[in-house]
Structure 1
Amino acid sequence: MSVDIAPRLPARPFRWRLSRLTPLIWVGPAVVLIGVVVILPVIVMIQSSLQKISPDGFVLGDAGFNNFTKLFAEPAFVGVLLRTAIWTIGVVVVTMVISLALAQLFNARFPGRRFARWALIVPWAASVMMTALIFRWALDSNNGAINVVLNRLGLLDAFNSNESAWLGNPPAAFGWMMLVAIFVSLPFSTYAILSGLQSIPEEIYEAADLDGATKWSRYRAITLPLLRPAIIVAVLINVINVFNSFPIIWEMTRGGPAYATSTTTTFMFTLKQSFIGESAAMSVINFAIVIIIVVIYLRSTRWKDQVD
């Protein structure tokens, strides 16, 4: 007869087990917030895209993929997608190029640097809708400030309605909207890159100077590689913000005339007035496009290597 003489481990005290649950106190509210604010709306959005919904908001039954079929058959759908791509890529690329130059400028010492940094915050701190309204008023064809100045400089014929009606001409209106989007996107990108510049040790530049490196070679071989984490963050946030931008386009042109200046976001909102199911389908496509863009960008930039 054998006797089990193996020593028994002491029971875990209740306080020790309770301490392992302590992180949930800190993580729990964030998880609940994400579930309510992000996951739940996504579920409702996908569910709505598969339902037949009246303009009054009543669910009339299942629609399957009919909403997507009708959306793809919309005459303006392809043009809106192409315009959204031009809008997003153009604004983000120009914003990042200008932000790199501004960050380099603000990183240098010059009289009034603090005031200049404060001034850059203004487009970021101000309401985007308010900024769009100011530009819309400035571009008014009759008495807008921009037309008045151009006319006094002799650069604009006040009697030529085609030249003065900026927001009535789709290419000109789209260009002005992109300019406004760049204007409001610059502060965040510039400060993100500026924080990256200030984290680069001066000793690296001193060593490069001893090796006879030029300013351009230092920037290309030292500054840009070390700025990659900051650039990745700035580009991702800008892509998401610009792609989903609504106030600028809506306040300046309402996406018109005839969807000529509309992106997927304003197109989705316009569809919502009469075709809620199609609008929900457009929302699903928007969400999928953003996820695909983020995944492709993160994989192409090897963001895990930057974090490690």
Structure 2
Amino acid sequence: MQDVKLRARDAGASAPAPRPSALRRIGLALTPLLWLGPSLVLIAVVVLWPVAEMVRTSLLKISSSGVTLGDRGGGNYTDLFDEDDLVPVVLRTVGWVAGVVITTMVLSLAIGQLLNARFPGRRLVRWAVIVPWAASVLMTSLIWKWMLDNYSGVVNRVLLDLHLIDKPENWLAHPRGAMLWMMWVAVFVSLPFASFVILAGLQTIPEDVYEAARVDGAGPFRTYFGITLPLLRPAILIASIINVINVFNSFPIIWAMTGGGPGHATDTTTTFMYKLAFYDQNVGESAAMAVVNFLMILVMVLLYLRASRWREEVR
């Protein structure tokens, strides 16, 4: 009798568990959406829908008052690529982004090291560094435009007092000089964010690594390039990508300081598309320029990720 009970118990233990019903399996599969749903909806509304609307607008014929007059197919893109100023504007934009981002990252590495060091008043210095980022970009640009004024600007006054120039200069009158000054302003407002990202990266590096390097006889130069920079690669990657996107889409600096002029001589793609929409009253062509601008940003970010071999970092 006892053997029968044992065999019955063993048979029940080895029997397969009943499979959940189809509705239960669907419910289990959809459970993560309760947590991911709000984020997915936000991404769809804030990111995907504007992109889809931008592409749709680039294929339409739209009047200056915003009334849709019908489809244009690829006509807006044809008109855009026939613009004589398109190629110079695109090349200028690439140079603008590369110059600002490279200069910002080089300077932010030095500022990040400074902010990470221990010295009296460090907290006050950190607060001071973040001010240009917290201030309005438009107001910062207007202040620099006033400072560069050839009659009452402080830049001319200081250079004259130091006898570095003989007469006041109209710094924003010449396209090349104006681009250099606007790049400096873009670096000025980009430095705080990049510097604090670098600072955050520096603070994640264990002190034990530096102690081991000192025991091995590594000097400051070897320690920085052999330990600090490699361990900072994730922080540098994040700061660079965000800076590329921000500088590529930068509008207030150029518009406040030169308006993209004279003509299109200091335009980038963002100010150029604004002029297409509001000066030339061609909304569809401006939307086509926005699509091209979006694709250029994607290409530049992907090229940077490939150059930095981010996949190896993930592994």
| Residue 301 in structure 1 maps to residue 308 in structure 2 | yes
Partner SS, residue 70 of structure 2: strand
Mapped partners of 1:189, 1:220: distance in 2: 19
| Residue 235 in structure 1 maps to residue 260 in structure 2 | no
Q: Residues 64 and 10 of structure 1: is their aligned pair in 2 closer, same or farther, counting only changes over 3 Å?
A: closer
- Which of these residues, 167, 172, 179, is aligned with residue 167 of structure 1? 172
- Counterpart residue identity of residue 40, structure 1: W
Are the equivalent residues in 2 in contact too, given 1:53–1:276 (CA < 8 A)? yes
The match for 2:135 is 126
Q: TM-score, normalising length from structure 2? A: 0.89
Are the equivalent residues in 2 in contact too, given 1:229–1:307 (CA < 8 A)? no
Aligned ranges for residues 53-64 of structure 1 at < 5 Å? 53-64=62-73
Structure 1 vs Structure 2 CA RMSD: 2.1
The match for 1:24 is 33
Q: Residues 128 and 8 of structure 1: is their aligned pair in 2 closer, same or farther, counting only changes over 3 Å?
A: same
Mapped partners of 1:298, 1:242: distance in 2: 17
Unmatched segments (≥5 aa) in structure 2: 1-11
The match for 1:279 is 286
| Residue 208 in structure 1 maps to residue 217 in structure 2 | no
Mapped partners of 1:146, 1:22: distance in 2: 62
Are the equivalent residues in 2 in contact too, given 1:95–1:182 (CA < 8 A)? yes
Deviation at 1:12, TM superposition (A): 6.3
The match for 2:250 is 245
Deviation at 1:22, TM superposition (A): 4.6
Deviation at 1:7, TM superposition (A): 5.6
| Residue 75 in structure 1 maps to residue 84 in structure 2 | yes
Mapped partners of 1:35, 1:281: distance in 2: 21
The match for 2:295 is 288
- Counterpart residue identity of residue 223, structure 2: R
Instruction: Give the greater-gyration-radius structure (CA).
Output: 2
Deviation at 1:25, TM superposition (A): 2.8
Mapped partners of 2:73, 2:171: distance in 1: 42
Mapped partners of 2:59, 2:19: distance in 1: 56
Mapped partners of 1:52, 1:18: distance in 2: 46
- Which of these residues, 261, 266, 276, is aligned with residue 266 of structure 2? 261
Aligned ranges for residues 74-153 of structure 1 at < 5 Å? 74-153=83-162
Deviation at 1:15, TM superposition (A): 9.1
Partner SS, residue 172 of structure 2: helix
- Which of these residues, 192, 198, 208, is aligned with residue 193 of structure 1? 198
- Bigger mean CA deviation after superposition, 23-32 or 111-120: 23-32
Deviation at 1:61, TM superposition (A): 1.7
Deviation at 1:13, TM superposition (A): 12
Q: Percent identity?
A: 57
- Counterpart residue identity of residue 290, structure 2: S
- Bigger mean CA deviation after superposition, 174-183 or 197-206: 197-206
Unmatched segments (≥5 aa) in structure 1: none
Mapped partners of 1:300, 1:140: distance in 2: 41
Mapped partners of 1:14, 1:62: distance in 2: 45
Mapped partners of 2:171, 2:29: distance in 1: 63
Partner SS, residue 188 of structure 2: helix
